[in-house]
Structure 1
């Protein structure tokens, strides 16, 4: 019988893991199913571009995975039973514009899928953090549906209307500069809980402030938003900032399904994994990307990012292939090299960092940094369709002769 591998989620990590597994394992020995709610790949790192009206290159999964042996199942995951080794999904036809719609309710059907190995890559969505009014009045760009809703709302704004981006992290910086550049007629502001780019090097901070000044962005530093209304946000100091549109980018929350399982998870619902991205509680489950809590250099948790998720996907796929074929387990430490920030289409910031993600003095800025960031984005998308360089190296699966002993293997 074929070894059944199910990959949940086809973002950067899930899609890369599925493709890499298909190129590592002989298709006669494994059945790889990739479960995703949309029929094409979403470049999440470009959602701020989509929100301001730019069109992105369509990347249909049926073309990306043609002749690879990966079976795409268009469905939403509704439950995972790690004791019975099953996944419950609800499939539905898509409505709306091809490639841009959300799954509708028509023709929905419930189905249970059985697996031998599960790769959990359901990722994350925006985090309202329990702040009153966020869910009702704020926009998010953590996914395509949210970015498209923001796109429609921004297009309806008249000149001079205020837009507020809440959150001074990488997502907030990219969103606020993209909006300000695309719509110089709007009154754009950024509300940051800390100082502007306070995690960057002095050179990086100086460049960031130069860009926000050039684009006319009003920056509210060391400011906490305590509520969001239809026309303003309220701060902890009791003041308010006018906002015809509020964009919420204060962080990400993982998909809640893992918390409802018997998997060992953190208090935020991230699955705890070892160095091979294998669940510490269930050896037939691997977790990658934002959904997993993995550690990097110095024992520090890897941050939620594409920079973390892609090498996590490589690590998990190679570990699964090694365990199934009797090969050598990968032992590669996941580390950071830089943080890439687009600041509109013609400017950027590449902040070089230590292995554990702390800024160093060196930073690349300006147009050259923008080109660098664009190459990174294109490379990430290319990597989804080309999970390893060179020809496929498929190995045969070795039949299991004894039950796995995760504690012994982890110790080894």
Structure 2
């Protein structure tokens, strides 16, 4: 156990939670923990739509978040993984040997599936590029947001509110909020109307320099296009021969260990995690609990203790509609809508508490045991 080296790839919500949790759990075990991430800044992905809307948010350095944990931070991008030799290569040429690896590389917007997206569309992963473009668009110009999921809706409403002279069109394959209950969906529709967001139902066939082409050939003029439809995971693990699903996510067992390489744990968006009700889809809501669980699981195994299977159920879909409105759809374990929702001022406060909670969890988690999981799924995940 002495000098056991745990390398964590990725300092997103899940990777950071795992690092903080594991450090506290193994403080007296002589375990070394190294966290590898390309940026020295911790990215609050829950707030990227706010940055795209023109807001300036505080910066948080990874080293500041880790302060006091004893975790070593390596700034760099993992470029190669050798699971047989248990070694990771970083883009500066360094090689990191590990005894246990936590694969937490997350996901990024998929710009490869539709022609023209990579060349002509902006993504929230790089919000500064989008805001610079929006600043250059004169009043009356048009932004087309492609993707009617929660991310697309939050971005469209945030930008429409912050830039009232800009015409915002949201292109989606089905009505916004289609998975919500009637009351939540009605509130969402009214918010889109109030903010002047035009909704177009259709499938994007191509993104052009100055337009978005729909499947039927219709062109939507666009001074800028924001793409939020679909995500992809890094191919690092799959390229190294680690068992992965069709989307490149590491296939894990009930305790979130790779089915082909048990010394590799996968968390967050980069893991294909099955529950009795189905496969978890990547969100902060699910990512942080996987990181906390894995930190605990590694510590328990190092002490020779058994590990119970991971159980998770969704609890809510928090959706901001600009800075002055929000809707919270409460859900069943499988993320389907329940009959309960929250709107108005209470929803705004609720959403802000959700967006700000990760950094608070990390700070508290250095000193005390905290449970970041809102639901284990109840009967939907038992057995």
TM-score by length of 2: 0.93
Q: 1:384 aligns with which of 341, 362, 365?
A: 362
Q: Offset at 1:195? A: 1.8
Question: 1:66 Cα shift?
Answer: 1.8
Match of 1:156 among 126, 136, 159: 136
What are the residue-to-residue correspondences of 1:13-412 with 2, within 5 Å? 13-26=14-27, 29-90=30-91, 109-141=92-124, 143=125, 146-221=126-201, 223-298=202-277, 300-387=278-365, 390=368
Cα offset, 1:250, TM superposition: 0.4
Q: Which stretches in structure 2 are left out of the alignment for 5+ residues?
A: 371-383
1:196, distance to aligned residue in structure 2 (A): 2.1
* Structure 2 contact 147–228 (Cα < 8 Å) conserved: yes
Q: Once superposed, which parts of structure 1, at least 4 consecutive aligned residues long, lie more than 4 Å away?
A: none
The 3-state SS of whatever aligns with 2:351 is helix
Query: What is the rounded CA distance, in whole Å, between the counterparts of 1:46 and 1:66 in structure 2?
Result: 23
Q: Gaps (5+ residues) in structure 1?
A: 91-108, 393-412
- CA displacement, residues 8-48 of structure 1 (integer Å, 9 cap, x when unaligned): 00000001101100000035511100001111211011001
Shift of 1:129: 4.4
Tell me if structure 2 keeps the 8 A contact 1:27–1:69. no
In the alignment, the residues of structure 2 paired with residue 147 and residue 39 of structure 1 have an alpha-carbon distance, to the nearest angstrom, of 17
Q: 2:369 and 2:270 mapped to 1: Cα distance?
A: 30
SS of alignment partner, residue 139 of structure 1: coil
For the Cα contact (< 8 Å) 2:112–2:118, is it kept in 1? no
CA distance in 2, matches of 1:289, 1:119: 10
Tell me how far apart the structure 2 counterparts of residues 68 and 233 of structure 1 sit (CA, whole Å): 48
Counterpart position of 1:407: none
Aligned-CA RMSD value: 1.4
Instruction: State how far apart, in whole Å, the 2-side matches of 1:350 and 1:389 are.
Output: 31
Q: Deviation at 1:130? A: 2.1
TM-score computed with the length of structure 1 as normaliser: 0.87
Q: Which moved more, 1:352-361 or 1:57-66?
A: 57-66
Give the length in aligned residue pairs: 369
Q: Are the equivalent residues in 1 in contact too, given 2:210–2:224 (CA < 8 A)?
A: yes
Q: 1:20 to 1:351 in 2, by over 3 A?
A: same
Secondary structure in structure 2 of the residue aligned to 1:315: helix
Shift of 1:367: 2.3
Whole-Å Cα distance in 2 between the matches of residues 160 and 297 of structure 1?
A: 50
Partner residue, 2:381: none
Distance of 1:365 and 1:373 partners within structure 2: 10
CA distance in 2, matches of 1:296, 1:21: 24
Please say if residues 69 and 366 of structure 2, whose CA atoms lie closer than 8 Å, have aligned partners that are also in contact: no
Report how far residue 331 of structure 1 moved. 3.9
